Amino acid sequence: MKVLRKQELKKALEALRHYFPQSQEKPDFFNDVSTFTKDESCLRNILTRTDVLDWKQFISLSIDLQQEEMLKAVALNNGVPMNKICTCHVMCLEDPSNLPVDKLSIRVSSVKESHVALINSTWKFGMGEFTEPLVRSMILNYPSCCVLDSEGQPVSWILTYSDCAMGVLYTLPEHRRKGYGKALITILAKKLHSEGYPVYCFVEEENQLSYRLFKGLGFTEDLSYRNSWFYVNQ
């Protein structure tokens, strides 16, 4: 093993940035596993890990259709129950400086821990007490923003996942069609970029409304692969 010096680390970082987000491997965060591999043995090791088998798991995989079929076969052969939740487009924003200037008269704040229950209950993938720690961790540790009403309660919000992806974008039904989602994406994208983070998100394939929203703000789709979410051992 070689210890990299400062200049070598810079070169490594630039190389990884060139292949982002494929090069981004998530930490073992709330039992979340991410892999970028075509190696069947690696998939088998992930699916048969003791901590995966002992608990219900989210597994997030950046894979193509061939790898997905391999994953299903490995799961079946090893007796691991697995169900796909969704498949997402990967959309990146190279230049946030072209984002529109927010002209809405709105109160914007970072999301607070007191908002966990509301966000978890409205999140499409929310599973009550099971996903509440995940939402709380995102709020406490990563950039976020929300629109507040006159009583200081959030009516629209967006968070950041542990892998830097923007997500959990949601607006309460009675506050939709006011431009809040567009405004929050713009604010968070500029914040992430200013702090040196990549600006990207995952959009479900069937969610054309969100796809058009991000596309209209200058996000471009990476056609080389998709990101899929699975439940394991449910």
pLDDT tens by residue, 128-161: 888 899 999 999 999 999 999 999 999 999 999 9
In this structure, what are the phi and psi dihedrals at residue 218, rounded to the nearest 5 degrees? Answer: 100, 0
176 vs 170: CA distance, rounded Å: 9
Tens of pLDDT, residue by residue over 88-112, are 899 999 888 888 877 788 999 999 9
Tokens of 221: 């789709």
**In the Cβ-directed half-sphere of 82, how many Cα atoms lie within 13 Å?**
29
In whole angstroms, give the CA distance from residue 189 to residue 199.
6
Closest to 226 in 3D by CA, of 204, 198, 206: 204
Confidence of residue 26 (pLDDT cuts 50, 70, 90): very low
| pLDDT at residue 32 in the model | 42
pLDDT of 119 > 60? The answer is yes
Q: What is the pTM of this model?
A: 0.75
Structural domains of the chain sorted by starting position, each given as residue range(s) with its CATH number in brackets: 6-87+226-232 (no CATH), 96-198 (3.40.630.30)
Q: Give the pair of three-digit tokens for residue 58.
A: 């989210």
**Arithmetic mean of pLDDT, 197-208:** 92
